[in-house]
Copies of this chain bind each other. A is one copy, B any other.
Amino acid sequence: MRDHLIIIKVGGKIVEEEVPLRSLLKDFSRIAGGKILVHGGGKSATTLAEKLGIETKIVDGRRITDAETLKVATMVYAGLVNKNVVAGLQAFGNNAIGLTGADLDIIRAAKRPVGAIDYGFVGDINWVNAQALSELLVNGAVPVIAPITHDGKGSLLNTNADTIASELATSLCSRYEVRLIFCFEKAGVLMNEADEKSVVPEIDPVMFEELKAKGIISGGMIPKLENGFNALRRGVSAVVITNAQGISGGLRGTRLVLHI
């Protein structure tokens, strides 16, 4: 029987403001067994870029990353956010280790080819070093992953944190029974954006297409769900979209399934 592994991606205010971060880390630290935290940090990156007079361009929810923006992303994701999360988890007794894709060569990516849009220093994942991650997990370490990868030729690349979480999940599911949790500010997929109680408990690809066509699912939720369904198809045991409260409370939120 494979050991359990839970991969939680957290983004938004939850990881960037002191009080909700502390609460999240307390809940996360209490999860028993193998676990990995993948975080974002986009809001802090946008704030720092603004202060430095660097314009932030986002197309279809993806940040256009020129050389200066890559520096900002590296500073905020791999430095500020990552190390505060690591220090916070250490204080709660979890032996956290902060990593980008470059550290131990855990995530190798390729710079996205220039098409209709030039995304700049954005990396699409080529492979995940599941062996290196497994060794850390076996030793009781808790990997905390910043959304920065590398190309193996010396360049860092900016990579979407949701994508990193689902690639890690699929790469590790031959070794572990993996649950993948996307944790953000809303309680799950909502039928009515203004009503946190309108959570869709389960969603399958057919329903996803319907809700997308109706405009109920839009923006950053679309790639999140696409990533989630792909992870399920590639062997991940469970995919859930929830908020910070969902982590402590037995994974409420929206559960992705291939067939309802």
Our pick among B48, B83, B95, B141 for the contact of A156 (Cβ within 8 Å) is B83
Q: Which residues, 138 to 193 on A, are CB-close (under 8 Å) to B?
A: 139, 141, 148, 150, 152-156
Question: Which residues of A from 67 to 106 have beta carbons under 8 Å from B?
Answer: 71, 74-80, 82-84, 86-88, 90-91, 95-100, 102-105
Candidates B22, B71, B83, B95; contact of A80 at CB < 8 Å: B71
Give the oligomeric copy count: 2
Q: From the candidates B71, B90, B103, name the one contacting A154 in the complex (CB within 8 A).
A: B90
Chain A residues with a Cβ closer than 8 Å to the other chain, count: 40
Distance between Cα atoms of A178 and B22 in the complex (Å):
39
Q: How would residues 96 to 127 of chain A score, 1 for a CB under 8 Å from any chain B CB and 0 otherwise? A: 11111011110000000000000000000000
Give Cα A151 to B1, complex, Å.
39
Q: Does A135 contact B (CB under 8 A)?
A: yes
Q: Is the CB of B150 within 8 A of A139?
A: no
Q: Which residue of chain B is the closest to A52 with respect to CB atoms?
A: B51
Q: How far is the CA of A148 from the CA of B79 in the complex (A)?
A: 10
How far apart are the CA atoms of A71 and B84 in the complex, in Å? 10
**Chain B minimum-CB-distance residue to A155:** B87
In residues 28-83 of chain A, which contact B (Cβ within 8 Å)?
48, 51-52, 71, 74-80, 82-83
Listed in ascending order, the chain A residues whose CB lies under 8 Å from chain B are 22, 48, 51-52, 71, 74-80, 82-84, 86-88, 90-91, 95-100, 102-105, 135, 139, 141, 148, 150, 152-156
